[in-house]
Amino acid sequence: MTPRQFELLYKAKVEGTGQIKYIKDNDSNLFLDSRDIVRLMEEQREAARRRMISSGKWTEAESEDRMQDLLKEISKEVPTDYDEKRMKREFRNLLDLMTKVQNPQKLFEKEYHFDEGLGQSLKDHVEELKATFPDL
């Protein structure tokens, strides 16, 4: 496994090979499993490249370049760490909003100001509203 592959799997920056050996010794099963995952992914990539060559869509000479282009397109669709953090933050904000809104009627509530200077007393206005909207 290359240091770059290790960085991608463990999402950690590695300076030199000493840290890789230290982590491998501490958790060798996880390291070996991760190495197997990388190997299997490389085999899938090679199998896909061979399928495209055998189907006649790609030639042998251009297959590596076309595979790299295909992998770049696929990697654009995969969310980055920043995108994942942003989606989690937006989801938490949505959950906070939904906990504040306890029922559907609160969505439609608005702050209401009444001005008695318009010719109607507050008591009369409340009685009129109760008559018009008996459910309130």
41 assigned to some structural domain: yes
What is residue 46's predicted lDDT score, i.e. its pLDDT? Answer: 92
Task: Answer with the residue of higher pLDDT: 25 or 118.
Answer: 118
User: Is pLDDT of 109 > 80?
Assistant: no
What is residue 49's predicted lDDT score, i.e. its pLDDT? Answer: 93
Q: What is the DSSP letter of 27?
A: T
Number of domains in the chain: 1
Q: Which domain holds residue 48?
A: 1-78
107 assigned to some structural domain: no
70 assigned to some structural domain: yes
91 assigned to some structural domain: no
120 assigned to some structural domain: no
> pTM above 0.85?
no
Select, from the ranges 33-37, 54-58, 110-114, the one with the highest average predicted confidence (pLDDT).
54-58
User: Is pLDDT of 36 > 70?
Assistant: yes
User: Is pLDDT of 51 > 90?
Assistant: yes
**DSSP secondary structure string, 45-113?**
HHHHHHHHHHTTSS-HHHHHHHHHHHHHHHHHHSPPHHHHHHHHHHHHHHHHHHHH--SHHHHH-----
Task: Answer with the residue of higher pLDDT: 76 or 54.
Answer: 54
The percent of residues in the chain predicted with pLDDT above 90, rounded, is: 25
121 assigned to some structural domain: no
Contact (Cβ atoms closer than 8 angstroms) between residue 65 and residue 36: no
What is residue 95's predicted lDDT score, i.e. its pLDDT? Answer: 85
User: Is pLDDT of 17 > 60?
Assistant: no
37 assigned to some structural domain: yes
116 assigned to some structural domain: no
The model's pLDDT over 65-103, given as tens digits with 9 standing for 90+, comes to: 999 998 888 888 888 888 889 999 999 998 888 777 666
